[in-house]
Amino acid sequence: MDLIRKMENVSVLGAAGKMGSGILVLLSFEMAKLKLGKKEDKEFVLNAIDVSQSALTNLLAYVKSQLLKHAEKNIVELRTWYQDREDLIDNEEIINQFADDVMAMIQTSTRIETAYDSQLIFEAIKEDKALKVKLFSQIKQNNPNAWFLTNTSSIPIGGIEKEAGLTGDIIGYHFYNPPVIQKLLEIIKTDNTSDDLAAFSVSLAKSMRKIVVQSRDVAGFIGNGHFMRDALYALNLAEELAKTEGWAKAFFLVDTISRDLLVRPMGIFQLLDYVGIDVTRFILDSMQPSFPNESLSHTALNKMLDNEVKGGQFADGSQKDGIFKYQKGRIKEVYDIELGKYSKTENVEMDCAAFMGELPILKVYWKSVVRDPNKADHLQKFFNELHQLDSVGANLAIAYGENSKAIGQMLVDTKVAESKEDVNTVLETGFFHAYGPINDYF
Amino acid sequence: MKALRKKIYMTAGYNTISMGTGRNEFHPKKPRPGLEDYIKEAGQSTLKMIGGAVNVDEGVIGNFMASRFNNQANLPAFLPMIDAGLKYKPAVSVEGACASGGLALTTGIKSILADTADVVLALGFEVQNTMKAMYGADVLAGAGWQKTRKEGHAYFFPGVFSERAGVYYEKFGRETTRKAMAKWYCNAIENARLCETAQEFHNTNKNLEGTANTPVNPRAFVENLNYFDCSKVSDGASAIAIVSEEGLKKIGLEVKDAVEIVGFAHVAADITQKPENMTSLSTMKVAAEKAMLMAGITIDQLGTVEVHDCFSIAGIMALEAIGFAEEGKGAEFVLAGHTARCGKIPVNTTGGLIGWGHPTGATGVHQAVTIWEQLTGKAGKAQIEITKEKPYAMSVNMGGDDKSLVAIVYKRGE
């Protein structure tokens, strides 16, 4: 199989989006390796396709900034790539030339027809199965040899394959946000995915220096399979607590417990805000048909969306108002679904602390343990202490941790994940957890 | 020159903080003081100690690359910015890469010798955190011959000294040398922790040795050095007054609070030529010999030295060039503890370039200030004991790869 031929003309659908732009940048690095590093005497084209022309213009500025960063970091190697260019002497000249050379391979387009010339189609449009099927089948009819790599995080790929008539030519290629930085890549084969495509996908991922975890083609895969159920558990718990404490306190309590007592990088509701309440519901909706015996929805999400409480991020990466309002990334206000308004967290903080009761004296924070070589020891001591307490907070935390573990185990039992290590890798790398859900702490 | 034909003193030294990574105040993305601030702080502090600008006859500013780091030239005209009283007085700027500070000192010394001045304000500065390291490397590469830039490493000077380190390893043993380089780093940080203006003053790393032994990463950096073998990127300025006997009276400072310059040497070698011997800093050797010859002292009379450890391997090779150890024995000399602050010859007592910092154009002046502090008992927590048997001190300041050298021998005024 000629990998280089496959890389000669590549399209990214939804290239101006958060995920698409990152995938485009990663692919541009790969093309640069071939064209500039290995001096392949071919024309390489990377099509950035999106519906919005203005978004594509902004995209180019983003790509340029990423190329410069990449070049700065890899200047030692780049100097060897440009060894024969006697006119390029300073690092700065080489870095700028690299960015120009790579930018010259990128073409923007708002027309899907552009993808008819591509051997590889990377897709990162919104999570809308019908739309994906429509675009894929249109491309396939005009470009029968194309391979499709979809970034869907939740829609079963076999279904898309069947409806779009792509037999064997599609694979799940699920990056984590932001793709340029996040190391994890979930690869999902359908029952038919060709061996060539599967092998290509893995070797490309390796070249991109990603950590690959293979997931079975079950809606949500491993990452969202755990995250969505974890979030639903948290919403149910909050709903229960809201009955006596009100929603503001309930949200704040569960978020605090999931962050501080489970030693996670952020609380579960802050994570929902980060992902977006709307995106969360979208993912749940797309997973639901595959799990008829499970209820993958929550009235709290619907109520918030009805009230325009959406979360997600602005273009500059700052957080929009969601379950919480933020100032410089810190939680300042919390939403009350019943009252339909936000209240200051300082008004609920004391009450929440009193409600939780006794907490471990030993303080272990995610930030301080996550890179500590003695991480396991610290966590063990912390969770031991948590188990010995009989406070409301400790009990809720333990139940939360046990549920998270059960979700992880279910993913292994139903063969979505090949092993518990794979589940833990996804949570540790994709979600930055300090420890995997399948552990002996709970 | 056999001996100086008149007495020359240095006094009223001042160092700003060496600002850069490692200092708690340093934030790469926030606005920082500019070169004006550094020049003013150092210059005004020295002026304050010497009775004001009225006592100054002329000024010398040492700087390497303000032209590229700050897009600024015509540096002599910054002297009157320090104090309106310096307006219309002679000012000059001198450049010799990282020896620019040392050249500022020798230029001032020569003005005193020439009887054209009794009090010279000598100042060195560099503000180089204005660009990221890989672009700064382009600028600093100017200390080498531009025609060798293309074949050189992305990080040009680390590349030059990495190559020297590689040959040194091969010739004299990798293991011992690496150990000595690590020890050099540990000494530098430990000394810097005693000096409030040092870039590594806030360093609280409990495992210095582990850090010093970080494996090399040629993919991202050079072949034979890790980041801790290198001095950091620094912003800073240093100032000192160079005075005649008359000048000392004029500024009203006591002779015991000054250091006497008893010998100096200023030596240049051809920048277009490769080193004849990769494991020897031959030009530095000449400079150190000449300075000691003029001072009429032997190496055993030195109580402390400030050497130009832009890289740990350069520090070790400097010990050999000065004559503390034979060629190839510098590593063992360091490992024996001789360069520690309580050792045979305390070296770089406030951390040197690796520990205190390396604002390139300021470094030569910083070395003189440190020695002035040590010999006059003003070094605070970093103070070492200066004995009657070893009353002398020496600074050796190097520009480029052993190309522009300044060595100065000092003793306390009496």
Q: Do residues B153 and B162 make contact, with C-beta atoms less than 8 angstroms apart?
A: yes
Do B198 and B300 lie in one domain? The reply is: yes
B384 lies in some domain: yes
B225 or A126: which leads in pLDDT: B225
Q: Which residues of B touch A79 (CB under 8 A)?
A: 153-154
- Å from B182 to nearest chain A CA? 23
Cβ neighbours of residue B47 under 8 Å, at least 6 residues apart?
B53, B56, B82, B83, B121
> What pLDDT, on the 0 to 100 scale, is given for residue B1?
58
What is the rounded distance in angstroms from the CA atom of residue B319 to the CA atom of residue B299?
Answer: 11
Interchain pair B219, A77: CB under 8 A: yes
Nearest to B134 among A75, A77, A86 (CB): A75
Model confidence pLDDT, tens digit, residues B41-77: 999 999 999 999 999 999 999 999 999 999 999 999 9
Q: How many C-beta neighbours within 10 Å does residue B122 have?
A: 31
Measured over the CA atoms of residue B397, residue B357, residue B243 and residue B412, the dihedral's sign is negative
> What pLDDT, on the 0 to 100 scale, is given for residue A342?
96
Phi/psi of residue A353, nearest 5 degrees: -60, -40
B124 lies in some domain: yes
CATH of the domain at A202: 3.40.50.720
Model confidence pLDDT, tens digit, residues A428-442: 999 999 999 999 999
Q: Which residues of B touch A91 (CB under 8 A)?
A: 134-135, 137-138, 154
B13 lies in some domain: yes
The pLDDT of residue B82 is above 90: yes
- Å from A83 to nearest chain B CA? 8
B266 pLDDT tier (thresholds 50, 70, 90): very high
What is the rounded distance in angstroms from the CA atom of residue B34 to the CA atom of residue A23?
Answer: 40
Do A264 and A196 lie in one domain? The reply is: no
Instruction: Name the domain boundary from A189, A215, A241.
Output: A215
A positions 87-106 inside 8 Å of B (CB): 89-92, 95
Q: Once rounded to an integer, what is the mean pLDDT over residues A154-171? A: 95
Any chain B CB within 8 A of the CB of A131? no
Do B122 and B183 lie in one domain? The reply is: no
Model confidence pLDDT, tens digit, residues A74-93: 999 999 999 999 999 999 99
Instruction: Find the closest chain A residue to B138 by CA distance.
Output: A90
* Counts of helices then strands in chain B (DSSP H, E): 14, 9
Measured over the CA atoms of residue A351, residue A355, residue A358 and residue A360, the dihedral's sign is negative
- Å from A113 to nearest chain B CA? 41
Do A191 and A275 lie in one domain? The reply is: no
Interchain pair B149, A90: CB under 8 A: yes
What is the rounded distance in angstroms from the CA atom of residue B96 to the CA atom of residue B83?
Answer: 26
Q: What angle do CA B360, B237, B124 make, to 5 degrees?
A: 65
Do B112 and B247 lie in one domain? The reply is: yes
Domain limits for position A46: 3-215
Q: Which residues of A touch B162 (CB under 8 A)?
A: none
AA identity, residue A247: W
Instruction: Name the domain boundary from A215, A242, A270.
Output: A215
What is the rounded distance in angstroms from the CA atom of residue B249 to the CA atom of residue B237?
Answer: 26
A5 pLDDT tier (thresholds 50, 70, 90): confident
Q: Do residues A127 and A282 make contact, with C-beta atoms less than 8 angstroms apart?
A: yes
The pLDDT of residue A1 is above 60: no
Q: How many C-beta neighbours within 10 Å does residue B166 have?
A: 17
A374 pLDDT tier (thresholds 50, 70, 90): very high
B1 lies in some domain: no
Strand, coil or helix: A38: coil
Q: Once rounded to an integer, what is the mean pLDDT over residues A98-111? A: 97
How many domains would you assign to chain A? 2
B positions 210-229 inside 8 Å of A (CB): 218-221
